[in-house]
């Protein structure tokens, strides 16, 4: 444990608390004030930070930071309480709920921002201490696992992108959300490379592209099939790779045959000439990458959309080829690690399936319990929230590090559900919109105040070193979870000297799994500037590039094509709701904005959400730049100031989702779930827009 005080002047290498890039930064405390700078030695961001990273230190001594537990009193007011009293109240409520309604009446929601150690421990806490089936978080990825046998964000270091002749990027606007990535895309372009961006909006990323395919929202799979059709028709596929390394191609080829260019133009709105250009750029390149972001994934056809793009990568023989492959651009800080180590409802540590008998035996042995006592898969994040107070549903909920009252689709409905809980416990540093509804709020140490590992979008396990101690009297999540487990009667299995002690157990738990961390250690991470999983022994350095041996970790050893047909989103425009609504991020904010809305520089840069609309739509509705619009969907309505911009499609409105209450974009979004990943359709719904007339 380091001996730093909050007065230290030594720069400590750590990482940004926000997105999946996990930029390296150094933190210095001078006269009690923390500041950060980019860490030139960390190879992912090479010293660059975005505005969120630069201002992250403001969270540490923020005046609104919670420094004492809060307990709701008999008059319904949250008042300060001691730790013993607060923790006992949580344990008592969870325990009595389970006695009365059964074990699965208690739910646990984690977060894509928790370290691997915390995500692992929260999964263990839910399954061993609470023995509930209902633990999840708001992240998912299923396509990579199905097609390639593994889901690891990028299968290569980000730096490889600079050497790809062509990159196809669907539904990710990295220039806005993780700007340091653009150093690689800029270098790729300087090297003569081409970037093809698929997005309904002309984002900064799309503006930097060689070719922008501006598709109609929800037509990703049709577009992918159309590209595959042209690749097959024009003889641009890698037949040897398909024959030797894959299975299921014939059905996919037959399906793609019905996606001829005229039809795809009609379905997607992308001109045939652009389809042709994209297919030939991809098919004639010596190296190419197919990357998908949250755009295609956060749809009710999300898994199918991604599988359709993986089909392109397989048809071109990209996985395992030099400077080539398929990758997923994850968004949340530890969205990747969070699902690898047991925080996901259907998974156990090491990316094991919870319904796999061998995986269950392995984890039961690591945790010292009988396999029969290990719960099965329960409800996914949205289903769990929607089940609250319904017959057989959740009655008590513990939320660790997420703000579901803002980040869930149909947010006002979910807020009502949260209000109807018998008990809500929230672990957070700030009084988020979810914490405001809680019966007990437990304040917690922040990113720079504790050790822990994160897994970035490359599958690189990085180490956030504790740079300064938390404020007096603040516990970290690991201490909170362990104390709760002990209060719930688990005397063994929840005592750790440090985060590194939890990591040592995580390594054992993950050994032999797909996401095998058994050979990763804190020392190795520091010596190598991160370790790419799988890393199966102390002697190996890890696996920066996957599939180099041509073998896929599927039952047959071959990658699997999936025949995908275009299906429309759950909601399409209609006479009453004539436009598409899509949601997303801004450069200056992160997720539900619990942290970033409290940072002055960020709040000033983007003080409120604005509805982006096209100039022609503005003219048609008689809307001017200073006006507000009323957006109404089948769930709710909200008003927003407009931003008139030609970067949006004429048939689409974009609203960022970082705000709560009256300004919450998620009041409007659809809770239609992907049938496989259970991911809600955040990206598309039908909306009616009217101009707000001031009285």
Per CB under 6 A, residues contacting ligand SF4 are: 16, 18-19, 21-23, 45, 49-50, 52-53, 178, 180
Are 517 and 533 within 8 A, CB to CB? yes
Residue whose C-alpha is closest to residue 656's, from 573, 591, 571 = 591
Residue (22 or 268) nearer to ligand SF4, CB: 22
Residue (45 or 582) nearer to ligand SF4, CB: 45
- Kindly report the number of other CB atoms within 10 A of residue 585's CB atom: 18
- Tell me which residue has tokens 């915390």: 118
Residue (37 or 504) nearer to ligand SF4, CB: 37
Q: Output the smallest distance, CB 62 to ligand SF4, in A.
A: 17
Residue whose C-alpha is closest to residue 289's, from 323, 238, 331 = 323
- Tell me which residue has tokens 């050979």: 519
Q: Output the smallest distance, CB 117 to ligand SF4, in A.
A: 19
C-alpha span between 306 and 140 (Å, rounded): 12
Q: Output the smallest distance, CB 381 to ligand SF4, in A.
A: 23
Helices 302-315 + 249-256 axis angle, to 10: 100
Residue (434 or 591) nearer to ligand SF4, CB: 591
The vertex-220 CA angle with 217 and 221, nearest 5°, equals 140
* Strands 325-328 and 106-109, bridge-based pairing: unpaired
Q: Output the smallest distance, CB 178 to ligand SF4, in A.
A: 4
First-to-last C-alpha distance (Å) of the chain: 62
Residue (34 or 90) nearer to ligand SF4, CB: 34
Residue (47 or 248) nearer to ligand SF4, CB: 47
Residue (183 or 639) nearer to ligand SF4, CB: 183
Q: Output the smallest distance, CB 45 to ligand SF4, in A.
A: 6
Residue (327 or 519) nearer to ligand SF4, CB: 327
The vertex-678 CA angle with 675 and 679, nearest 5°, equals 115
Are 320 and 546 within 8 A, CB to CB? yes
- Output the CA–CA distances (angstroms, integers) from residue 510 to 73, 129, 282, 515, in the order listed: 42, 20, 37, 7
Residue whose C-alpha is closest to residue 123's, from 400, 425, 379, 342 = 342
HSE-CB for 622 with a 13 A CA cutoff: 4
Residue (530 or 569) nearer to ligand SF4, CB: 530
Q: Output the smallest distance, CB 683 to ligand SF4, in A.
A: 21
Residue (178 or 354) nearer to ligand SF4, CB: 178
- Tell me which residue has tokens 């959309």: 305
Q: Output the smallest distance, CB 157 to ligand SF4, in A.
A: 16
Residue (36 or 231) nearer to ligand SF4, CB: 36
Q: Output the smallest distance, CB 22 to ligand SF4, in A.
A: 5
46: left (phi over 0), alpha (psi -120 to 50) or beta: left
Are 329 and 155 within 8 A, CB to CB? no
Residue (23 or 133) nearer to ligand SF4, CB: 23
Assigned token pair, 586: 């801004």
C-alpha span between 210 and 206 (Å, rounded): 8
Q: Output the smallest distance, CB 139 to ligand SF4, in A.
A: 16
Helix/strand/coil for 196? strand
C-alpha span between 200 and 654 (Å, rounded): 10
* Strands 460-464 and 452-455, bridge-based pairing: antiparallel
Q: Output the smallest distance, CB 437 to ligand SF4, in A.
A: 27
Are 34 and 497 within 8 A, CB to CB? no
Q: Which residue sits closest to ligand SF4, CB atoms considered? A: 53
φ/ψ of 584, rounded to 5, equals: -175, -160
Q: Output the smallest distance, CB 401 to ligand SF4, in A.
A: 16
Q: Output the smallest distance, CB 352 to ligand SF4, in A.
A: 28
């Amino acid at each position: 444990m380091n001996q730093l005080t909050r007065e230290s002047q030594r720069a400590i290498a750590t990482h940004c608390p926000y997105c999946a890039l996990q930029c390296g930064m150094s933190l210095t405390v001078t006269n009690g004030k923390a500041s950060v700078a980019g860490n030139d030695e960390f190879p992912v961001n090479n010293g660059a930070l975005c505005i969120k990273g630069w201002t992250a230190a403001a969270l540490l001594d923020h005046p609104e930071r919670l420094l004492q537990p809060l307990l709701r009193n008999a008059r319904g007011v949250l008042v300060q309480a001691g730790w013993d009293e607060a923790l006992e109240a949580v344990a008592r409520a969870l325990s009595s709920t389970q006695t009365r309604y059964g074990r699965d009446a208690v739910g646990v929601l984690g977060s894509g921002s928790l370290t691997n150690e915390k995500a692992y421990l929260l999964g263990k806490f839910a399954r061993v201490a609470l023995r509930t089936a209902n633990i999840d978080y708001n992240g998912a990825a299923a396509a990579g696992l199905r097609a390639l046998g593994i889901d690891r964000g990028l299968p290569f270091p980000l730096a490889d992108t600079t050497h790809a002749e062509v990159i196809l990027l669907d539904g990710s606007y990295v220039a806005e959300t993780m700007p340091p990535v653009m150093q690689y895309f800029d270098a790729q372009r300087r090297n003569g490379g081409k970037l093809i961006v698929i997005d309904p909006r002309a984002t900064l990323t799309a503006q930097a592209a060689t070719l922008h395919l501006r598709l109609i929202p929800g037509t990703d799979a049709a577009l992918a099939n159309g590209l595959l059709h042209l690749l097959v028709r024009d003889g641009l596929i890698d037949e040897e790779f398909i024959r030797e390394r894959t299975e299921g191609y014939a059905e996919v080829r037959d399906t793609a045959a019905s996606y001829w260019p005229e039809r795809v133009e009609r379905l997607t709105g992308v001109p045939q000439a652009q389809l042709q250009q994209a297919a030939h750029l991809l098919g004639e390149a010596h190296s190419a990458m197919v990357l998908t972001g949250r755009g295609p994934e956060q749809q009710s056809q999300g898994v199918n959309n991604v599988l359709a793009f993986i089909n392109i990568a397989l048809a071109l023989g990209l996985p395992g080829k030099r400077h080539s492959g398929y990758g997923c651009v994850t968004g949340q800080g530890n969205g990747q690690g969070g699902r690898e180590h047991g925080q996901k409802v259907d998974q156990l540590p090491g990316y094991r399936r919870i319904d796999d008998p061998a995986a269950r035996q392995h984890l039961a042995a690591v945790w010292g319990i009988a396999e029969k006592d290990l719960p099965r898969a329960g409800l996914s994040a949205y289903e769990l929230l929607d089940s609250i107070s319904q017959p057989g549903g959740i009655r008590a909920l513990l939320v660790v590090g997420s703000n579901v009252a803002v980040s869930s689709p149909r947010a006002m409905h979910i807020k009502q559900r949260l209000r109807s809980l018998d008990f809500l416990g929230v672990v957070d540093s700030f009084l988020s919109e979810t914490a405001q509804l809680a019966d007990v709020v437990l304040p917690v140490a922040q990113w720079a105040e504790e050790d822990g590992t994160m897994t970035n979008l490359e599958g690189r396990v990085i180490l956030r070193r504790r740079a300064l101690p938390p404020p007096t009297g603040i516990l970290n999540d690991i201490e909170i979870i362990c104390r709760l487990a002990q209060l719930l009667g688990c005397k063994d299995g929840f005592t750790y000297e440090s985060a590194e002690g939890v990591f040592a157990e995580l390594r054992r738990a993950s050994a032999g799994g797909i996401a095998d961390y058994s050979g990763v250690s804190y020392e190795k991470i520091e010596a190598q500037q991160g370790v790419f999983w799988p890393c199966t022994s102390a002697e190996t350095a890890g696996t920066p590039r996957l599939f180099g041996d041509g073998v896929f970790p599927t039952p047959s050893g071959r990658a699997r094509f999936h025949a995908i047909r275009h299906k429309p989103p759950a909601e399409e425009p209609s006479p009453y709701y004539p436009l598409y609504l899509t949601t997303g991020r801004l450069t200056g904010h992160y997720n539900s904005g619990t942290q970033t809305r409290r940072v002055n520089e960020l709040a000033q840069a983007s003080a409120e959400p604005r509805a982006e609309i096209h100039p022609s739509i503005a003219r048609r509705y008689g809307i001017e730049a200073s006006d507000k619009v009323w957006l109404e969907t089948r769930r709710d309505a909200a008003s927003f100031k407009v931003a008139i911009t030609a970067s949006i499609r004429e048939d689409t409105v974009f609203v960022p989702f970082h705000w709560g209450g009256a300004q919450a974009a998620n009041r409007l979004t659809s809770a239609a779930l992907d049938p496989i990943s259970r991911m809600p359709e955040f990206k598309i719904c039908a909306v009616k827009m009217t101009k707000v007339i001031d009285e």
